[in-house]
Amino acid sequence: MISDNVKTGLTRSPNRSLLKACGYTDEEIKRPFIGVVNSFTEVVPGHIHLNTIAEAVKKGIYANGGAAFEFNTMAVCDGIAMGHEGMKYSLPSREIIADTVESMAKAHGFDGLVLIPSCDKIVPGMIMGALRLDIPFIVVTGGPMLPGELHGKKYDLISVFEGVGEYQVGKIDEEVLNEIENCACPGAGSCAGLFTANSMACLTEALGLSLPMCATTPAVDAQKVRIAKKSGMRIVDLVKNNIKPKDILTKESFENAILVDLALGGSTNTTLHIPAIANEIERGYITLEDFDRLSDEVPHIASLRPGGEHFIIDLHRAGGIPAVLKVLESKIRDTKTVSGKTTKEIIKSVNYIDYDIIRPMDKPVHKTAGLRILKGNLAPNGCVVKIGAVNPKMYKHEGPARVFDSEEDSIKAILGGNIKKGDVVVIRYEGPAGGPGMREMLSPTSAICGMGLDDSVALITDGRFSGGSRGPCIGHISPEAMAGGPIAIIEEGDIISIDMIAKKIELKLSDEEIKERLSKWKKPEPKVKKGYLARYSRLVSSADEGAVLK
């Protein structure tokens, strides 16, 4: 065992002495060392309950003959960080989390890991760090929040963001907005729709890294505690049988996860996180091209928030990810999972599907997959749209550019009533390097939706969107403006053409005009010149490469 380097032999007497100072006994020290990675924090509702999950995991580890060692990672709440400078730290925190997992596990000789993340960057960050170690690991995601209820209607965090836009145009008053604010987030868990956190939990289960039903089991359900205990027991078996990540994370398992993502219409952020996870196996192992290719394989089969009417609790009651795999069975490859069952064996065990929630492939919500990769002279390396959350009227759109060099400037224009029907709002210098940190644009997208403009105004950015964004919001424009991509030379009033069905996004200028403008473009001074973000901006790759550090 790897932990023998820490605990075995006379020369390790000092090491054992320090472990005993923490309360570990000789009997425990002889067991496999299992790191329990907990992202508990008192700031984030998706993490507020994770100590309960961690205790259940540790009980499972001890029940099966392991010794548990808990440590923590950081966690940024995108909702709290949204709309101000704090959001610049959200995506970059993924790399800190990965480094933390790698550093702690290497330094202390862990034989295996149980990862307990919740929320979007934390899930991929922990997995990325664990993959660097080549030791067994299993993931217990924290689970979704239940929707709030008010006067017979269900709400979630996006309801509050969009409520701000509704208030701005007089659709609701301050008292109603306050009622929505007070009910929308009723307790622990990742926000209740298929936003980035729950998208990543679903894909983690589809990858084979979590036990069946882990992703969709609500945070407050006792079933989540039982899954945590079973995961703690299971990691000891994985260590004893030397089941490594490379045995589970094959090209086929990544493609299974992408198919689930496309069929459910997950967050656009998955096109950052899945390539970033795969990058830890091999550079370029999974790219935007894989999302593009597989998007022609499956339709959109579930009407989930933010684009639809159902919540993650509805997906769970309909059969969860095993039921989704069952519906997609003809496209799914048989792969190993941490449960000990193969994907096909999990599919065979499915005995119930609510087809009103998880539609059959021949009766989908939309015929196209829920995510779409677009390319063209405006985004030569690609960009992404959550087409499953777009009004079909906006699948094709052409209009004049309204150009902003920051999110703050765009929000002032939107809430100030300066954006008109037919416009294409362009927010640039918000990419991985330019932002820096590639802020999510939930505030402007929610304002547009709340003001009733989501069927007439498109929004494009080299930044990214919250998994809760809906409407014609196209993100990850690559190359980004800070790298001298074509988005940098768009001028006010330029015509932009979008065709989501044909997967095209074009700036209606000649090649010669684009080339001339690019030749005159000068790279601006970085927005942040010291601290972590300054280092991040110098090292981060393009969004189409997963925004990983070079």
C-alpha–C-alpha distance, residues 1 and 16, integer Å: 16
Residues 6+ apart with CB under 8 A from 495: 398, 399, 400, 401, 507, 508
C-alpha–C-alpha distance, residues 354 and 352, integer Å: 7
Q: What angle do CA 15, 20, 23 make, to 5 degrees?
A: 145
Strands 372-376 and 379-385: antiparallel
Three-state SS at 21: helix
CA atoms lying within 13 Å on the CB side of residue 105: 30
Neighbours of 417 (CB within 10 A): 10
Q: Are 199 and 119 in contact (CB under 8 A)?
A: no
Q: How many residues does the chain have?
A: 550
State which amino acid sits at residue 354.
D
Question: Which listed residue (39, 118, 466, 542) is catalytic?
Answer: 466
State which amino acid sits at residue 36.
V
What is the per-residue burial (b if ≥16 Cβ within 10 Å, else e) of 449-465? Answer: bbbebbebbbbbbbbbb
Q: Are 87 and 533 in contact (CB under 8 A)?
A: no
C-alpha–C-alpha distance, residues 542 and 539, integer Å: 10
Residues 6+ apart with CB under 8 A from 374: 382, 383, 384, 385, 474, 498, 500, 503, 504, 505
Active site residue 541: no
Strand ranges (E), 54-209: 67-72, 112-116, 137-139, 148-150, 153-155
Q: Give the CA radius of gyration of the chain.
A: 23
Give the catalytic positions in this structure: 466
